């Protein structure tokens, strides 16, 4: 078995341990760009942003624009905690919070991740059906097996370099916005002025958009990558020198986070605008995968379904490893597996088990012939509903002396993080209050 990190990642260059082959690294140093943009905008994100534009026009563009500083802040806070403590978020939560709060946050996170994996597997079946026809459950099964095999035998960075060319299909939404020759000056207010409607449908969509934009797994992944990056120095450095090296590394990843998040949010905005300018403008209901694919018709013509299918498959294959890896790390920290090669072996199997469990759930959902668009949309709603406890504990950790000592996160990062947390919590409360009050 190749050496496996705490996330389920492997690093062949570090030598061998006993037992065979394990899951390869989803946390490879691939930097900003197409790969991370596609992983952030997985099929649930593609569908949710398209539905938001088709059903509410330009009224939700502000969510992706105004949330940008807070998303960056949350990821930097997550990375800072990992660098200063040498542990991921789950381990830190277990150390510094009561077991009840820890299990609440981690349990909700695992549920959301598993359902997200299930939805992405359904999306791969739908994408393949749009390309070649055939049984959606059967195609979903094939791509689940393919994803598991890739994660087990091939380093993530290696196959991601191939998939990124398919993920370029996401830029077709930018092409649609350009081809339609929109009056951009009329959209300016929608970018920066929040439009909120007191209706159950609007508030549910708002929660879904926030859930897929500020996804908790990105925070866990960010921390996990920093722990793995610094691990080779742990045995050779004292705590002080390790922290200094970590802080230097934090300065270097700010640009990466700014670019990656900006690119991801820009694509999300493009999806909303394209759906609003095509489906909503023409009074067409977004009631099927084919109707959502028609958003791409201005640039793809009769190949719109093929392009949409490629976007679903490539973004799902890129998103599944970080989804499963962050969940596997959460499981390992919950049960307290020691950091040795046996821990690495267990993490590898936990990663594959989580992908398989979520994938099996997705295949069942597909076999039940549930509307795949609703499945993907509801995975975003679940993300939004479960994110708040994780975000609260994360921001509190960044100021906890027992965790970060005197090096707490800057007040601007904390303020932006609290703003996003309050917005997510308010969206959850408003949605259920609107339902209760009718």
pTM, two decimal places: 0.88
Residues 6+ apart with CB under 8 A from 13: none
The whole-number pLDDT of residue 183 equals: 83
- Domains of the chain by start residue, with CATH: 12-437 (1.20.1740)
Is 79 within 8 Å of 219 (Cβ atoms)?
Answer: no
Rounded CA-CA distance 352/147 in Å is 10
Is 173 within 8 Å of 297 (Cβ atoms)?
Answer: no
Rounded CA-CA distance 42/376 in Å is 10
CA 247 to chain centre: 25
Instruction: Name which of 180, 138, 157 is nearest 9 in CA terms.
Output: 157
Three-state SS annotation for the chain: CECECCCCCECHHHCECCCCCCCCCCCCCCCCCHHHHHHHCCHHHHHHHHHHHHHHCCCCHHHHHHCHHHHHHHHHHHHHHHHHHCCCHHHHHHHHCCHHHHHHHHHHHHHHHHHHHHHHHHHHHHHHHHHHCCCHHHHHHHHHHHHHHHHHHCCHHHHHHHHHHHHHHHHHHHHHHHHCCCCHHHHHHHHHCCCCCCCHHHHHHHHHHHHHHCCHHHHHHHHHHHHHHHHHHHCCCCHHHHHHHHHHHHHHHHHHHHHHHHHHHHHHHHHHHHHHHHHHCCCCCCCCHHHHHHHHHHHHHHHHHHHHHHHHHHHHHHHHHHHHHHHHHHHHHHHCCCCCHHHHHHHHHHHHHHHHHHHHHHHHHHHCCCCHHHHHHHHHHHHHHHHHHHHHHHHHHCCCHHHHCCCCCCHHHHHHHHHHHHHHHHHHHHHHHHHHHC
Is 79 within 8 Å of 223 (Cβ atoms)?
Answer: yes
Per-block average pLDDT, block size 10, for the chain (438 residues)?
A: 36 36 41 50 93 95 93 90 84 87 86 94 97 95 94 80 80 93 85 89 94 85 74 53 69 82 91 96 91 95 94 91 84 71 73 92 95 95 90 89 76 92 93 85
Residues 6+ apart with CB under 8 A from 181: none
Q: Which two tokens stand for residue 233?
A: 């120095």
Helices 200-213, 372-397: axis angle to 10 degrees equals 60
Rounded CA-CA distance 404/51 in Å is 41
């Amino acid at each position: 078995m190749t050496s496996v990190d705490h996330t389920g990642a492997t690093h062949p260059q570090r030598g061998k341990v006993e037992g065979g082959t394990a899951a390869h690294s989803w946390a490879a140093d691939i930097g900003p760009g197409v790969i991370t943009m596609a992983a952030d905008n997985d099929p649930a994100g593609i569908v949710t942003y398209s539905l938001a534009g088709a059903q509410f026009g330009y009224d939700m563009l502000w969510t992706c624009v105004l949330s940008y500083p807070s998303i960056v802040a949350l990821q930097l806070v997550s990375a800072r905690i990992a660098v200063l403590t040498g542990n991921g978020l789950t381990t830190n939560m277990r150390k510094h919070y009561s077991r009840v709060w820890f299990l609440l946050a981690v349990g909700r996170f695992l549920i959301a991740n598993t359902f997200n994996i299930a939805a992405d597997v359904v999306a791969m079946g739908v994408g393949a059906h749009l390309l070649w026809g055939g049984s959606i459950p059967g195609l979903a099964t094939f791509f689940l097996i393919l994803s598991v095999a890739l994660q087990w035998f091939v380093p993530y960075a290696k196959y991601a370099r191939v998939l990124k060319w398919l993920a370029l299909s996401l830029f077709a939404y930018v092409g649609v916005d350009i081809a339609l020759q929109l009056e951009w000056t009329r959209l300016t207010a929608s970018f920066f002025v929040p439009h909120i409607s007191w209706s159950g449908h609007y508030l549910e969509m708002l929660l879904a958009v926030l859930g897929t934009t500020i996804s908790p797994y990105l925070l866990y992944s960010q921390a996990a990558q920093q722990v793995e990056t610094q691990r080779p120095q742990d045995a050779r450095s004292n705590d002080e020198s390790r922290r200094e090296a970590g802080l230097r590394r934090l300065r270097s990843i700010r640009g990466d986070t700014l670019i990656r998040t900006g690119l991801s949010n820009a694509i999300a905005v493009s999806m909303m605008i394209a759906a609003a300018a095509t489906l909503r403008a023409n009074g067409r209901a977004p009631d099927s995968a084919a109707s959502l694919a028609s958003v791409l018709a201005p640039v793809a013509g009769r190949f719109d379904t093929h392009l949409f299918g490629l976007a679903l498959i490539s973004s799902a294959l890129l998103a599944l490893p970080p989804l499963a890896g962050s969940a596997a790390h959460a499981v390992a920290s919950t049960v307290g597996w020691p950091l040795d090669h046996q821990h690495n072996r267990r993490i590898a199997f936990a990663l594959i088990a989580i992908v398989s469990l979520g994938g099996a759930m997705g295949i069942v959902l597909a076999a039940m012939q549930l509307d795949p668009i609703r499945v993907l949309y509801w995975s975003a709603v679940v993300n939004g509903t479960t994110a708040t406890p994780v975000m609260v504990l994360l921001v509190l950790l960044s100021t906890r002396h027992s965790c970060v000592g005197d090096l707490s996160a800057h007040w601007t990062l904390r303020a932006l993080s609290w703003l996003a947390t309050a917005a997510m919590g308010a969206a959850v409360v408003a949605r259920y209050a609107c339902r209760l009050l009718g």
